[in-house]
Amino acid sequence: MQPSTSGLSTLCVHGGETRDAEGALTTPLYDQSTFGFPSTQALLDTIDQRTPGNLYTRYGMNPTIHAVERKLALLEGAESALVFGAGIAAISTTLLAYCKSGDHIVCFGDVYGGTFELLGSNLRDLGIQTTFLLSSEFDRLGAAITPRTRLVYFETPTNPNMEVMDIAAISEVAHAHGALSVVDSTFGSPVNQQPLTLGADIVIHSATKYLGGHSDLTGGAVMGSNAHLAPIAEWRKNLGLIMAPQVAFLLARSLRTLTVRVRQQNANAQAVAEFLAEHPRIKQVNYPGLTDFPTHALARKQMHGFGGMLSFVVDGDAKATAAVVDRLKLIALAPSLGGVESLVTQPVTTSHHGLSPEERARRGISDGLVRLSCGLEDAADLVADLTQALR
Ligand SMILES: *Cc1c(COP(=O)(O)O)cnc(C)c1O
């Protein structure tokens, strides 16, 4: 196992791995649901956590799950990590672990559609209220936090406008008012940003995206201190939301190439963003790596790379924009991101379909907006595909 002082690429390859009795260089897939003990005393020592070990897979006490959690913790500079069957499971479990009926959440800026629904509908039905603030309302953040506010929840960069949120500043306000700072860092990945080093308490990822990176697994992860993760681990156990060992094995395999993938995706997104910024049919390009992007300076300060995600506004209505999307040949129309293949969506038809036209307008989601997740193809081929679709 590699110490946490190693570079990120080294941690991706070696972090968290152990050699088994057969000499395998990486942690094998232990698909077992349960593990045996030499004595009642040994079993009790494991159950009572006096000795670390394997016990029962739903509890997360499985060597393949432990290995990928160690790797993920190292990548975020966290004490621990917990993996889940989906990104939304990581989010819902974290919120349920910290908020009881009567408690309050402040959601700052745009969030993933499923998170918006969870906060605005499911948790509200349980008596947990959320105040939604726009990213332009930073001066209202402190006043929005009440004595019942448990956490300030946000994403960066945001979906679909790629706004970069000031992790240090938001965390500082949250802490000053006794709330936790919880960040969904899915769009950034640990290659481009490490929110815990900037003051956040808990970092969440949809592992379905960059961490998995091949559009072939569904998973989630939460990283933070042991103390912050303890209640989340208990809720994960009792809700039964553990990641399956096969998925944990596949995720560990994917994480070994995380830095090379994400750096290439960053480079492709930069090239595509610069091309689109000059295109006569494009009204606006949202990409943190463009020097005239409103949060470019913050991205430069807080991120190590600008990410593989961008969005742009086509000069045309929803139908004309759909026609552009439909003409793409290499770039696939699919509602996900972070994979090796480039994917495109039109937020009005997918992630923000459920919002009213007024709410979409308030959040800057126009009919001509297109979101693009850059994969690992040659940038020239992505540009060629966009060129022919926009012709
Ligand atoms: C996809 C996504 C989620 C949800 O993850 P699933 O793995 O689909 O459950 C949460 N947050 C962000 C930012 C996402 O992109």
Mean pLDDT of 41-67: 95
Q: Which pLDDT score, from 0 to 100, does residue 353 have?
A: 76
Which of 70, 71, 209, 363 is labelled catalytic?
A: 209
Active site residue 184: yes
Distance, CA 95 to ligand 1 centroid (Å)?
15
Mean pLDDT of 279-283: 97
* Angle (deg, nearest 10), helices 87-98 and 226-239: 110
Q: Which pLDDT score, from 0 to 100, does residue 290 have?
A: 98
pLDDT digits (tens, 9 = 90+) for 309-335: 999 999 999 999 999 999 999 999 999
Q: Which pLDDT score, from 0 to 100, does residue 3 have?
A: 52
Q: Which pLDDT score, from 0 to 100, does residue 49 have?
A: 87
Mean pLDDT of 151-174: 97
State the closest ligand 1 atom to the C-alpha of 91, by its place in the atom list counted from 1: 10
Q: Which pLDDT score, from 0 to 100, does residue 4 have?
A: 58
Mean pLDDT of 236-258: 98
pLDDT at 1 over 80: no
Could you tell me whether strands 220-224 and 80-84 are parallel, antiparallel, or unpaired per DSSP bridges? Answer: antiparallel
pLDDT digits (tens, 9 = 90+) for 15-52: 999 888 899 999 999 999 999 999 999 999 999 989 98
Ligand 1 pocket by Cβ (under 6 Å): 86-88, 112, 114, 155, 159, 184, 186-187, 206, 208-209, 218, 220
Share the mean pLDDT of the chain: 96
Distance, CA 172 to ligand 1 centroid (Å)?
25
Residue 372 neighbours by CB under 8 Å, 6+ apart: 269, 272, 309, 310, 311, 312, 331, 342, 343, 344
280 prior amide bond cis, ω within 30: no
Q: Which pLDDT score, from 0 to 100, does residue 330 have?
A: 98
State the closest ligand 1 atom to the C-alpha of 186, by its place in the atom list counted from 1: 13
Distance, CA 41 to ligand 1 centroid (Å)?
42
pLDDT band, very low/low/confident/very high, at 146 (cuts 50, 70, 90) = very high
Active site residue 45: no
pLDDT digits (tens, 9 = 90+) for 185-224: 999 999 999 999 999 999 999 999 999 999 999 999 999 9
Distance, CA 208 to ligand 1 centroid (Å)?
7
pLDDT over 90 percentage in the chain:
92
Test site for ligand 1: of 88, 92, 159, 217, most ligand atoms within 8 A of the Cβ: 88
Distance, CA 88 to ligand 1 centroid (Å)?
6
pLDDT digits (tens, 9 = 90+) for 72-118: 999 999 999 999 999 999 999 999 999 999 999 999 999 999 999 99
Separation of alpha carbons 286 and 161, rounded Å: 6
pLDDT at 5 over 60: yes
Residue nearest to atom 1 of ligand 1 (CA): 206
Q: Which pLDDT score, from 0 to 100, does residue 155 have?
A: 98
Which of 112, 153, 210, 287 is labelled catalytic?
A: 112
Q: Which pLDDT score, from 0 to 100, does residue 354 have?
A: 74
Active site residue 209: yes
pLDDT at 239 over 90: yes
Test site for ligand 1: of 94, 165, 202, 208, most ligand atoms within 8 A of the Cβ: 208
Q: Which pLDDT score, from 0 to 100, does residue 118 have?
A: 97
Residue nearest to atom 11 of ligand 1 (CA): 112
Q: Map out the domains of the chain with their CATH numbers.
A: 258-390 (3.90.1150.10)
Residue nearest to atom 5 of ligand 1 (CA): 87
Range with lowest mean pLDDT among 23-27, 75-79, 165-169, 382-386: 23-27
Distance, CA 234 to ligand 1 centroid (Å)?
22
